[in-house]
């Protein structure tokens, strides 16, 4: 389960992207979550996904 707090969510997602998943798509597929919902939630908190670095900034 992923945290609801956007700061904690960004931290957990970036850790998983760094350590386990080669892309946001693979993370979302494996965790059975919507890529759009995850991205929208983090974008609302001011974070954007950088596919080249495979992390939210």
Mean pLDDT by 10 residues, the chain (57 residues): 95 98 98 97 98 98
SS3 of residue 50 by DSSP = strand
Q: What is the pLDDT of residue 1?
A: 82
pLDDT at 41: 97
User: Measured between alpha carbons, how far is 55 from 57 in angstroms, rounded to an integer?
Assistant: 6
CA distances (Å), origin 2, targets 5, 16, 31, 52:
9, 11, 9, 23
């Amino acid at each position: 389960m992923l945290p609801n707090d956007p700061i904690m969510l960004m931290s957990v997602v970036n850790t998983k992207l760094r350590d386990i998943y080669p892309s946001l798509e693979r993370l979302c597929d494996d965790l059975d979550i919507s890529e759009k919902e995850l991205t929208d939630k983090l974008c609302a908190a001011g974070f954007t996904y950088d596919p080249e670095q495979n992390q939210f900034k």
